[in-house]
Structure 1
Amino acid sequence: MARSFADDDAIPNDWRTRQPGSAIWIIVAIFRSFLEAFFYSIYYIPSSLRQSPTWTYRQACMTRLFERVFHIITEIGFTQSLSLEPEKLGDRWVTIDPAPASAYCGDFTSDTIKPETVGGTWYPKLPLKQSLLEEQGLVVLAFHSGSLLWLTGRPEDSEPTATLLNNSLGNNTCSFWLQYRLAGGNNPTPYPGAMQDALTAYIYLTKEMGISPSRIVLAGDSTGSTIAVALLRYLASIKEVQGHELAVLPPPKACLLFSPSVEYCFEGDPEAVSANRNIKTDYVEPRMMAWGARAIAPPGIVRLDDPYISPALHPFATPVPIFVQAGGAEVLSDSIRGFANAMRAVPGNSVEHFEVPDVPHDVYVAGTLLGWPKEQEEIHEAAARFVLQ
């Protein structure tokens, strides 16, 4: 039975999460990892002993390495803190103040979580307003992954993906990668904080930058997809809100979802994740997924089956065409397929489900690192065909 609320004990909180324990444990974990790496470097030589017999030696080793890294991150409870400083980005980094309070209505309002100033990075560079109007290229509003606990959308974690997606979508395409508030770090912000930030960024693009939504492509991978779908649902809901500044605008051109997190009542249940048929061919850490679910949905306050974080259970009508990609070897493949089928069943919806056989989670971002560069390129090409058809 699916969970309705996250486990309150899912957030790592033992001696390994505090100094000096975390420093000691990192040393132990690194030594342990070297021993494991040596073992698996020999163990995976026969293809029959790899996670999948179709995988190459590199794919098997790198997937195991990713799994161990996420395991250690979970053990020490590492989260990432955010900064609104541009650092080395110059004018590619933009800070955005919240829109008027009336823009955040319905499910994007909260007594405790209020819209705040956020930032984001332009790829390849900050476009001039005049060039945006003259060139008429696509503009991607992208939401990065990271279990709502890490990553920023800045070049150190997102530039290769942003460049590949921009190039796939054609000349004059640029993208804005939002640094939304995380549910961990120095300003832990559960639902609906990241969703409010997505709306802030969308209003920035349409109102301040003057970009027609018909040229905007929403994109998200893993937990970033949770935010993208939530924004889609919100844009559909405010069409009935009289006087809302976005109600009269056309819908976005498309929404691209890569290995999307669309069923948190599954992801928040480490037993269910551990029992999934693909657990041996994916690098996800069940306790990490439960931690992310607990961070975004505090028990007793936000339900894991809430429509905005488990859209697979609550399909809705949208005029925006949706591209849904999954890896056939990832633990989310069944929930992703269920989401695509449920959304496709709603009259008027246009949904394409694109499953890449025998690959793990988020090859859209990590394909080259994991050893699936060809499949990564195919995913971007398929998404581009969907948008440009």
Structure 2
Amino acid sequence: MSTVPSVTPISWQSRIVHLLVRARMRPHAHAPIDPSWVRTEMGRPRAARRWMARSTGAAMESRPAGEGWPGGEVVSWPGHEPGAPVLLYLHGGGYIACSPETHRPLVSSLVRRLRGRAFVPRYRLAPEHPFPAALHDAMAAYRYLLDIEHIAPTQIVIAGDSAGGGLALALALAIRDEQWPHPAGLVAFCPWTDLAATGGSLEENTERCAMFAGETIRRAARFYVGDADPTLPLISPLYGDYRGLPPMLVHASEDEVLRDDAIRVAEAARRDGVEVELQLWPHVPHVWQFFAAVLPEARASLAATTRFVLARM
């Protein structure tokens, strides 16, 4: 496993972003979770998100459900080449919130760097739709790329952040189990890989994390897991068998409560013979890649991701 040392020194922009995110998120870290409230709050500030997405120059197209596609968005770089990289990007949000629209800044930043396209499905959310609804929608989206868009699997990289990062890894396990063609690679930003909530960083970083406490993660997991076993690999890919999977890139914050979810899944994949690039970043919030417009650490993470994806093509 390739583990790149933490980036130092910490930028002044990171210190400011960390404080702002903490001021907004930490007051709610120990409170009961209301999914409807989270959906409203995590969609803000809408004007800033629209500005960050538009500033990348990428084009966004809403694509309704049909032909197996569960609905969502396609983000494209104008004039992209036919053989350019294609991301199947699975948004985060704890399986209970967020959407292709909330993740436009992050996805469009990646698309601009890759000069390619990203398909961002609107998978069903818990608690109305617990496991396996999100996984089934992600599987349908992958088949849509293969069967309807006729994109070669060697051109596809599956990516995601937080819950979407865990879902991306679960999708890769399902693709292997179904004996479908493998994608070229996997990218996971701050992935949530253990819904049984056994990572030591849930306690170690519960006061350092800018967004969550360990209890936040435990409470959120119940919405998606429902009555299922949280250690099922297609729920918690930490417990999966990674033999035969494509190369992986994993980025996480040293300070977040999900740090050990990233480290342990990278170690598990390496033990199973998968090529893994793991990098931990100091003093950045969970899924700091959102802030590429202002944060050097976000731009560095996306640049490393771009190199990883292009090397797989």
| TMscore range, shorter length | 0.7 to 0.9
What's the CA shift for 1:374?
0.3
Secondary structure, counterpart of 1:96 in structure 2: coil
1:25-80 Cα shifts (integer Å, max 9, x gaps) = xxxxxxxxxxxxxxxxxxxxxxxxxxxx9685624521322324644984655254
Distance 1:257 1:60, change over 3 A: closer
- Report the counterpart of residue 207 of structure 2 in structure 1: 279
- Report the counterpart of residue 152 of structure 1 in structure 2: 99
Q: Distance in 2 between matches of 1:316 and 1:275?
A: 27
Q: Which of 10, 13, 16 in structure 2 is aligned with 1:58?
A: 16
Q: Distance in 2 between matches of 1:73 and 1:161?
A: 28
Distance 1:209 1:309, change over 3 A: same
Distance 1:168 1:54, change over 3 A: closer
How many residues align? The count is 282
What's the CA shift for 1:364?
1.7
1:150-192 Cα shifts (integer Å, max 9, x gaps) = 11112xx1221111101222x3x011111100003xxx10100
Write out aligned runs for 1:1-389 (5 A): 56=12, 58-68=16-26, 70-71=28-29, 74=32, 76-77=34-35, 78-80=37-39, 92-97=61-66, 99=68, 118-124=70-76, 135-154=82-101, 157-169=102-114, 171=115, 173-184=116-127, 188-239=128-179, 247=180, 249=181, 251-266=182-197, 275-277=203-205, 279-298=207-226, 301-347=227-273, 349-366=274-291, 373-389=295-311
Q: Which runs of 4+ in 1 moved over 6 A?
A: none
Distance 1:281 1:71, change over 3 A: closer
More displaced 10-residue stretch of structure 1: 357-366 or 67-76: 67-76
Q: Distance in 2 between matches of 1:238 and 1:222?
A: 24
| Residues 282 and 331 in structure 1, CA contact (< 8 A), matched pair in contact too | no
Secondary structure, counterpart of 2:103 in structure 1: helix
| Residues 96 and 204 in structure 1, CA contact (< 8 A), matched pair in contact too | no
Instruction: State the Cα RMSD in Å.
Output: 2.9
Q: Distance in 2 between matches of 1:327 and 1:295?
A: 25
Unaligned runs of 5+ in 2: 1-8, 41-58
Q: Distance in 2 between matches of 1:341 and 1:194?
A: 25
What's the CA shift for 1:296?
0.7
* Residue identity in the other structure for 1:231: L
Normalized per residue, which structure has more helix? 1
Q: Distance in 2 between matches of 1:275 and 1:384?
A: 33
* Residue identity in the other structure for 2:309: V
The answer to which structure, 1 or 2, has the higher relative contact order (CA under 8 A, 6+ apart) is: 2
Q: Distance in 1 between matches of 2:84 and 2:136?
A: 26
